C-alpha cells in the first residue's frame, strides 16, 4: 500500500468551509399514509371513510394508515378515521390562510383523497379560482412529499334549498377537473380523477341536497374511491428483512432500536489488518464501516473477500457497514466511479451479501459527488437509480446513502431530496449518511442539519466525522452529544493508517489498540463516546435491547409568564443510553393532564393560554428505544390578567343550512393595535342556545353553556398589526340564530365589523 493511495482516501474528506443552511415519509414495510382532505362531506361524519377503511382491510390491503389532525367520528364500528375533513371549509380559504402545510407536516401523506370545493361553489367562487387553489395545494403536497399521489374527486351533485345555481356550478367545476389533472400530473407524483358525480342522486343519496346520507350516499362515495385507492397503493413494500428503518430510527428484525456506534476501517488498503475488527470491538463498538473497492480505483474486492469481511464482523459481534470508496468525489475527483458503477459492483457480489440482512448494511458509495454543483445536482436521480438496481437484483438489505459535496451536503442537496429518494426505494429501507467535517464547526450548524431530518421524519446517521480537519474545526462535542440525545448513529473516521497530512484522524497508532491517539481517546473513551453509549445488536444474543426508562425529569418551573404564554424549564433526565426528548403535559386548574407538546431540550414555550388562569405542568422523558420515564413533579403557574393590545375587530357571519337546524359560522379576528398579539383567546356568548359542533377549524374551541372560547393553534398564534386570523365551525340552533352581541380578545373588548 502506498501513501499515494492513502491520500486518495483522505481526499474524500476535504472541503472548503461553507455555511449550512437548514430547510411521509414512510419506512420499510411502513403503512401507506392516506389523507382524506375536504369539507363536511369528508369529515362530518364522513362515514364513507369508515367503509373504505373496512373494504381495504377485508381485501388484504392492511398496510394503510389514515392520517390527519381530526379524529374519527362514530360510524358504528371501530376504524382508522383520522382525516382532514373540515366542515364549512373552502378550498380557496385553505390557500388564503395557508392551512395545508401545517396539516401536511404532521400527517406526511403518501396518498391524498381530495373531495373539495363544495363550499366554494356554494359561495359562487369561480371555477378558475378554485382550480388555482387546487394548484397551490398540490404544490404544497409535493413540497411535503415529492412522490405524493393525489386522487381528486369530481364532486357529488348539489341541490341545496337556498342555492338554485349550485347544481350547474358543480357541473362546471367537474368538467374542468380532468383537464387540470392532466396538466398537473407527473410520473413521480401522479394526479388521478375519480368521478363521484355520475350516478349520485341528491334526492335519494343525501340528507339535505348536499351531504350524503348514511346508507346509499356513503356507499356510493366509497365504491368510487376504493378502486382508485387500490391503484394508488400499487404493490406494497415487502415485509422488512433484518436491519431496517422505521420512521427516523434504525431497528433490527425483532424491532429493537439499533443506534450505530462505530469506527471506519480502511480494509481495502490494509487487508492484512484483520485483527482490527476485534480491536475495535474491544472498546465496545457495535458497528464497523469497512472500506471496499469496486475496481475503478481500488480492488475490486471479490465476493470471497466480502464473505471473509462479513465473517470477521460477525465473529467480533459487529454490524458490518460495507462501502465502496471508488465513488469519492465523482464529478470533481479524477477517475472516481459513478454510483451506477458502484451498483454494478454490489450486484457482482450479491451472493456473498444475500442472507446477511441481519448483519450487513450496504453503503452505496462513499461521498459520491464532489463540489461540482451541476454534477451534484444529479444526486437524487443517481442514488435512486442505484437503489433501484440493487432492489431489482434481490438485495433487501438496509441501504445507506452518502451525501454529495464530499459527503458534507453543504448545498443541502441530500437534505432537500432525501424524501424523494426514500420513496423511490421499493422497500422504503434507506438511511441517509452525513459526513461532518469543517462545514459543521458550530453547534448551530450541527443542530440545524439534525433538526431538518427530524422534522421531515427521515432516518439519518453521521457516517464520518473527526475532531479536526484541514477544511475547519468540526464541533465533535456537539455532534456526539446531539447524536446521543437524539438516538442517531455515528461512525468516526478512522481506526488507523491515514496519510501524514491527516494522521491526526487516526484513533490508534500503527493499528495498536494499546496506543490511543488524542482523537481515539476522545472518541472511544470520552463523554458521549463509544464505550459510554454503545449497545451491542440483539442479533448477537445481547438480550432484548434497552428496556430501562430514563429517570424522571425535574419539576418544571415557569418563567416569562404573560396573559397568554409562559416558558417552562426543568432539570434533565438521565438514561443509560440517552434521552431523545421530553413530553410536556398540561392541566387547566384541577383538571386532568393531557400532552400539549414535545421538545428535545429542557425548555418548552407554551402559548395560546387564557388570561388569569392557573395551569399545572408535568414532564416525562423518552429515550432512543422508546422507553418513557415516570412523570416529573407538578409545577404550577397562573397567567396574568388582560393580555391583549386592547385593539381588535371581529367579523362574524353564519350561514344556515337548508332544510335543517345546522349552520356554518365564519369568524375573522383582526389586530387593530400597533403591537403584535402573541397568543390569543377569543371569547363570546350565544344569546339563543346555539351549540358549537367540535372541533371547528383555525382554533381550539370549547363551550360551557352559552359561553364559547376559541384559542389559537400553533401556527396562527401571532397577529401582527392589521393581521387577521380566520376561524370557523359548524353549529346547531333551535330555530333562531342571532349573532353574538360582543367579543373579547385576551380579555379586551373588540369592535365588530
The SS3 assignment for 623 reads: strand
Residue 645 pLDDT greater than 50, yes or no = no
- State the Cα–Cα distance between residues 193 and 204, nearest whole angstrom: 24
Q: Report if residue 551 sits inside a domain.
A: no
First to last CA, the chain: 81
Same domain (yes/no): 259, 177:
no
> What pLDDT was estimated at residue 734?
84
- 731, β-bridge pairs: 663, 692
What CATH number is given to the structural domain containing 708?
2.60.40.290
Instruction: Please tell me the least confidently modeled range out of 98-102, 234-238, 630-634.
Output: 234-238
> What pLDDT was estimated at residue 329?
96
Residue 36 pLDDT greater than 50, yes or no = yes
Same domain (yes/no): 663, 633:
no
For residue 89, the 8-state DSSP code is -
> What pLDDT was estimated at residue 455?
78
Look at residues 592, 608, 639 and tell me which one is the last residue of a structural domain: 639
Residue 174 pLDDT greater than 50, yes or no = yes
Cα 545 from chain centroid?
Answer: 25
Look at residues 199, 233, 267 and tell me which one is the last residue of a structural domain: 233
Same domain (yes/no): 634, 655:
no
- State the Cα–Cα distance between residues 555 and 571, nearest whole angstrom: 7
Residue 307 makes CB contacts below 8 A (sequence gap 6+) with 352
Higher per-residue confidence, 575 vs 650 = 650
- 584, β-bridge pairs: 597, 619
Q: How confident is the model at residue 626 (pLDDT cuts 50, 70, 90)?
A: low
Look at residues 540, 575, 610 and tell me which one is the last residue of a structural domain: 540
- State the Cα–Cα distance between residues 476 and 443, nearest whole angstrom: 9
Q: Report if residue 410 sits inside a domain.
A: yes
Residue 25 pLDDT greater than 50, yes or no = no
Same domain (yes/no): 206, 290:
no
What CATH number is given to the structural domain containing 288?
3.20.20.80
Q: Give residue for cell 398540561.
A: 586
Same domain (yes/no): 296, 435:
yes
Among 289, 626, 241, residue whose Cα is nearest residue 429: 241
Residue 750 pLDDT greater than 70, yes or no = yes
- State the Cα–Cα distance between residues 383 and 340, nearest whole angstrom: 8
Residue 497 pLDDT greater than 60, yes or no = yes
Q: Report if residue 13 sits inside a domain.
A: no
- State the Cα–Cα distance between residues 109 and 142, nearest whole angstrom: 10
- Active-site entry in 222, 252, 367, 583: 367
Q: Report if residue 488 sits inside a domain.
A: yes
Cα 100 from chain centroid?
Answer: 15
Residue 85 pLDDT greater than 80, yes or no = yes
What CATH number is given to the structural domain containing 610?
2.60.40.10
Q: What are phi and psi of 409, to 5 degrees?
A: 50, 40
Residue 8 pLDDT greater than 50, yes or no = no
DSSP 3-state percent helix, strand, coil across the chain (nearest 5):
30, 25, 45
Same domain (yes/no): 173, 313:
no
Percent of all residues in the chain with a pLDDT value above 90, rounded to a whole number: 58
Q: Report if residue 678 sits inside a domain.
A: yes
Residue 485 makes CB contacts below 8 A (sequence gap 6+) with 578, 579, 580, 600
Q: How confident is the model at residue 565 (pLDDT cuts 50, 70, 90)?
A: confident
367 in catalytic set: yes
Same domain (yes/no): 271, 361:
yes
pLDDT tens, position by position, 391-410: 888 899 999 999 999 999 99
Same domain (yes/no): 198, 220:
yes
Q: Report if residue 245 sits inside a domain.
A: no
> What pLDDT was estimated at residue 687?
87
Residue 244 pLDDT greater than 90, yes or no = yes
Q: Report if residue 702 sits inside a domain.
A: yes
Higher per-residue confidence, 602 vs 426 = 602
- Active-site entry in 464, 476, 536, 583: 464
What CATH number is given to the structural domain containing 222?
3.40.50.1110
> What pLDDT was estimated at residue 656?
83
Q: Containing domain of residue 437, as a range?
A: 254-540
Among 319, 316, 320, residue whose Cα is nearest residue 305: 320
464 in catalytic set: yes
> What pLDDT was estimated at residue 3?
27
- Please give the grid coordinates belonging to residue 410: 453543504
**Can you spell out the DSSP letters for 301-360?**
--HHHHHHHHHHHHHTT-EEEEEE-TTTTTTTSTTPPPHHHHHHHHHHTHHHHTT-TTTE
Mean pLDDT along residues 690-707: 86
- 399, β-bridge pairs: 362, 430
**Can you spell out the DSSP letters for 640-685?**
PS--S-S-EEEEEEEEEPTTSSEEEEEEEEEE-SSS-EES-EEEEE
Is there a contact between 417 and 380 (Cβ–Cβ < 8 Å)?
Answer: yes
- State the Cα–Cα distance between residues 519 and 501, nearest whole angstrom: 15
Higher per-residue confidence, 393 vs 640 = 393
Higher per-residue confidence, 659 vs 526 = 526
Q: How confident is the model at residue 642 (pLDDT cuts 50, 70, 90)?
A: low
pLDDT tens, position by position, 317-355: 999 999 999 999 999 999 999 999 999 999 999 999 999
Domain count, the chain: 4
- State the Cα–Cα distance between residues 485 and 483, nearest whole angstrom: 6
- Please give the grid coordinates belonging to residue 461: 446517521
> What pLDDT was estimated at residue 219?
87
Same domain (yes/no): 349, 414:
yes
Mean pLDDT of the chain: 88
Same domain (yes/no): 482, 565:
no
- Please give the grid coordinates belonging to residue 142: 409535493
For helices 443-456 and 476-486, what crossing angle results, to 10°?
30
Is there a contact between 412 and 440 (Cβ–Cβ < 8 Å)?
Answer: no
Cα 464 from chain centroid?
Answer: 24
- State the Cα–Cα distance between residues 465 and 264, nearest whole angstrom: 10
Q: Report if residue 132 sits inside a domain.
A: yes
Alpha helices in 149-207 (DSSP H): 166-184, 202-205
> What pLDDT was estimated at residue 625?
66
Same domain (yes/no): 223, 277:
no
Q: How confident is the model at residue 27 (pLDDT cuts 50, 70, 90)?
A: very low
Same domain (yes/no): 43, 182:
yes
Cα 399 from chain centroid?
Answer: 19
Amino acid at each position: 500500500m502506498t501513501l499515494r493511495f492513502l491520500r486518495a482516501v483522505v481526499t474524500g474528506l476535504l472541503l472548503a468551509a461553507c455555511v449550512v443552511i437548514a430547510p411521509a415519509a414512510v419506512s420499510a414495510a411502513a403503512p401507506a399514509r392516506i389523507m382524506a382532505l375536504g369539507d363536511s362531506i369528508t369529515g362530518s361524519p364522513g362515514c364513507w371513510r369508515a367503509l373504505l377503511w373496512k373494504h381495504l382491510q377485508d381485501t388484504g390491503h392492511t398496510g394503510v394508515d389514515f392520517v390527519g389532525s381530526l379524529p374519527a367520528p362514530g360510524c358504528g364500528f371501530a376504524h382508522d378515521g383520522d382525516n382532514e375533513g373540515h366542515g364549512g371549509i373552502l378550498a380557496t380559504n385553505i390557500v388564503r390562510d395557508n392551512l395545508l402545510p401545517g396539516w401536511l407536516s404532521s400527517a406526511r401523506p403518501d396518498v391524498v383523497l381530495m373531495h373539495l370545493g363544495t363550499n366554494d361553489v356554494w359561495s359562487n367562487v369561480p371555477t378558475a379560482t378554485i382550480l388555482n387553489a387546487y394548484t397551490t395545494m398540490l404544490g404544497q403536497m409535493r413540497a411535503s412529499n415529492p412522490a405524493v399521489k393525489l386522487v381528486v374527486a369530481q364532486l357529488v351533485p348539489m341541490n341545496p334549498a337556498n342555492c338554485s345555481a349550485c347544481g350547474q356550478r358543480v357541473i362546471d367545476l367537474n368538467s374542468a377537473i380532468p383537464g387540470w389533472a392532466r396538466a398537473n400530473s407527473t410520473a413521480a407524483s401522479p394526479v388521478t380523477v375519480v368521478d363521484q358525480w355520475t350516478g349520485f342522486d341528491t334526492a335519494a343519496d343525501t340528507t339535505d341536497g348536499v351531504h350524503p346520507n348514511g346508507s346509499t350516499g356513503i356507499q356510493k362515495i366509497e365504491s368510487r374511491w376504493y378502486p382508485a385507492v387500490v391503484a394508488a397503493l400499487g404493490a406494497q413494500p415487502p415485509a422488512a428483512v433484518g436491519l431496517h428503518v422505521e420512521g427516523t430510527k434504525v431497528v433490527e428484525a425483532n424491532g429493537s432500536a439499533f443506534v450505530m456506534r462505530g469506527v471506519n476501517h480502511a480494509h481495502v488498503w490494509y487487508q492484512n489488518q484483520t485483527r482490527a475488527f476485534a480491536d475495535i470491538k474491544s472498546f465496545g463498538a457495535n458497528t464497523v464501516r469497512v472500506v471496499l473497492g469496486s475496481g475503478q480505483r481500488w480492488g475490486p474486492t471479490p465476493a470471497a473477500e466480502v464473505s471473509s469481511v462479513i465473517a470477521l464482523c460477525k465473529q467480533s459481534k459487529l454490524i458490518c457497514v460495507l462501502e465502496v470508496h471508488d465513488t469519492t468525489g465523482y464529478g470533481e475527483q479524477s477517475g472516481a466511479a459513478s454510483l451506477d458503477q458502484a451498483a454494478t459492483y454490489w450486484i457482482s457480489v450479491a451472493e456473498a451479501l444475500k442472507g446477511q440482512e441481519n448483519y450487513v448494511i450496504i453503503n452505496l458509495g462513499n461521498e459520491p459527488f464532489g463540489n461540482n454543483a451541476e454534477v451534484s445536482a444529479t444526486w437524487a436521480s443517481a442514488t435512486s437509480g442505484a437503489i433501484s438496481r440493487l432492489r431489482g437484483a434481490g438485495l433487501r438489505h438496509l441501504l445507506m446513502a452518502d451525501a454529495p459535496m464530499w459527503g458534507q451536503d453543504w448545498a443541502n442537496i441530500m437534505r432537500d431530496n432525501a424524501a424523494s429518494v426514500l420513496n423511490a426505494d421499493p422497500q422504503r429501507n434507506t438511511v441517509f449518511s452525513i459526513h461532518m467535517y469543517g462545514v459543521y464547526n458550530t453547534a448551530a450548524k450541527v443542530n440545524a442539519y439534525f433538526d431538518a431530518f427530524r422534522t421531515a421524519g427521515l432516518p439519518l446517521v453521521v457516517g464520518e466525522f473527526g475532531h479536526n480537519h484541514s477544511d475547519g474545526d468540526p464541533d465533535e462535542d456537539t455532534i456526539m452529544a446531539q447524536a446521543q440525545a437524539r438516538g442517531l448513529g455515528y461512525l468516526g473516521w478512522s481506526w488507523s493508517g491515514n496519510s501524514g497530512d491527516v494522521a491526526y484522524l487516526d484513533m490508534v497508532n500503527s493499528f495498536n489498540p494499546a496506543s490511543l491517539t488524542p482523537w481515539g481517546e476522545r472518541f472511544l473513551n470520552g463523554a458521549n463516546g463509544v464505550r459510554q453509549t454503545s449497545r451491542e445488536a440483539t442479533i448477537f444474543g445481547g438480550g432484548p435491547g434497552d428496556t430501562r426508562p430514563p429517570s424522571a425529569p425535574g419539576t418544571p418551573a415557569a418563567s416569562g409568564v404573560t396573559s397568554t404564554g409562559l416558558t417552562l424549564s426543568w432539570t434533565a433526565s438521565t438514561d443509560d443510553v440517552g434521552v431523545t426528548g421530553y413530553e410536556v403535559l398540561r392541566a387547566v386548574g384541577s383538571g386532568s393532564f393531557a400532552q400539549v407538546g414535545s421538545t428535545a431540550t429542557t425548555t418548552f414555550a407554551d402559548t395560546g393560554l387564557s388570561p388569569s388562569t392557573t395551569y399545572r405542568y408535568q414532564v416525562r422523558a423518552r429515550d432512543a428505544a422508546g422507553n418513557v420515564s415516570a412523570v416529573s413533579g407538578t409545577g404550577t403557574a397562573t397567567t396574568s390578567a388582560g393580555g391583549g393590545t386592547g385593539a381588535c375587530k371581529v367579523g362574524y357571519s353564519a350561514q344556515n343550512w337548508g332544510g335543517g337546524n345546522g349552520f356554518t359560522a365564519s369568524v375573522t379576528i383582526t389586530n387593530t393595535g400597533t403591537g403584535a398579539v402573541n397568543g390569543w383567546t377569543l371569547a363570546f356568548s350565544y344569546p339563543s342556545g346555539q351549540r358549537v359542533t367540535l372541533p371547528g377549524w383555525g382554533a381550539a374551541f370549547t363551550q360551557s353553556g352559552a359561553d364559547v372560547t376559541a384559542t389559537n393553534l400553533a401556527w396562527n398564534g401571532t397577529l401582527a398589526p392589521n393581521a387577521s386570523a380566520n376561524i370557523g365551525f359548524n353549529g346547531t340552533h333551535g330555530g333562531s340564530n342571532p349573532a353574538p352581541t360582543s367579543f373579547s380578545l385576551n380579555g379586551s373588548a373588540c369592535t365588530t365589523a
